[in-house]
Amino acid sequence: MCGICGFISKNRITNDQLKAMNDTMYHRGPDDSGAEIYDAMGGFCVGLAQRRLSILDLSPLGHQPMHSPNGRLSIVYNGEIYNFRKLKKELSDYPFQSTCDTEVILAAYLKWGIACVEKLNGMFAIAVYDREEQKLYLCRDRVGKKPLYYWKDNGSVVKIFFIFLYKLPKKGDNEISTKEKRNTYPPLLMIPSLPMRRWG
């Protein structure tokens, strides 16, 4: 399962606020969680968070957000890449540390850029922040098996929030009612099929 969320904004959003947003998806990933905020150009900051259900690599090496060795990329991801072992053979020059498909996505991006998404066979919702390009990419699989939603505030300060939201948690999950959760999030828009949305 797993779940991802995050934002890009000029408003200063705290790590505690990002963690609170992430923890509304606790039921999707009870094994691990991560939340990080990065400074970007133009006064923006980028936040990435993930709740993890460990399946392929049960070790801490699968923790997210995950970063490329050169520090260029940070990624949060939910899903399964069915052909990741085949892709991993094509990416043998990458210094893999884990056995999870998340790291294969990072390696594929470094080799093929965002066009790597076209090589992924699976179900996925991905957010990857490229510091070199100063862009945040949000991608989902072609049929929307792993839906990804975003909200953009068109006010004076740009704010974009995204969240993987398959369904609202049941009442009692994380001690917040479904009604309260509905009121927590503004109206959301679904990420369409390719081409991917990008901001930067």
Active site (catalytic) residues: 2
Collapse the DSSP code of 1 into the 3-class scheme (helix H, G, I; strand E, B; otherwise coil) and give the result: coil
**Cα 117 to Cα 120: distance, rounded to the nearest angstrom:** 5
User: Can you point out the beta strands (E) in 10-100?
Assistant: 32-39, 45-52, 66-67, 73-81
Q: Which amino acid is at 38?
A: Y
Q: What is the largest CA-CA distance in the chain?
A: 49
**Cα 50 to Cα 78: distance, rounded to the nearest angstrom:** 8
